[in-house]
Amino acid sequence: MTQPMRIRSEHVDADEAYLAQWILGLDPVVAPAELERFNSVLRDLSMTGTAWLADVAGEVVWEENDFNDPMHFSPEGSTRMATVMADAVEKILEGAEGAEGESPQVVRE
């Protein structure tokens, strides 16, 4: 699963202060781009047959109210994430039936 991050427009200062504590030495302004680099590696690995991937950072349109802070979901966001992940697992299980030897893939929403 890729990791979404959102610096909320109404909470920029608080969200950047939160991120400044997340990884010492990481500029909070570049944190979303750095996390996206990590997500890109996960996407690349999933295409090699290494693992299935639910690309929740790239395939899901998250709203600001889905987050309590840049990294953690609000109750509404948690409900959305649970639904997205349940759908992804269902697609993986459906794709795995009789798919012996096939390469894993990115699960699309």
The per-residue DSSP string of 33-64 comes to HHHHHHHHHHHHHHTTTS--EE-TTTSS---G
Q: 7 exposed, middle or buried (CB, 10 Å; 0-12, 13-18, 19+)?
A: buried
pLDDT at position 32 is: 92
Check residue 41 and give its pLDDT: 94
Q: With bands split at pLDDT 50, 70 and 90, how would you rate the model's confidence at 98?
A: very low
Residues 16-55 pLDDT 10s: 999 999 878 889 999 999 999 999 999 999 888 767 889 9
Quick one: tokens of 38?
């990590």
Question: Which secondary structure element, helix H or strand E, spans residue 53, and what is its range?
Answer: strand 53-54
pLDDT at position 91 is 86
**pLDDT greater than 80 at residue 58:** yes
Phi and psi, residue 55, nearest 5°: -90, 70
pLDDT band at 72 (very low <50, low <70, confident <90, very high): very high
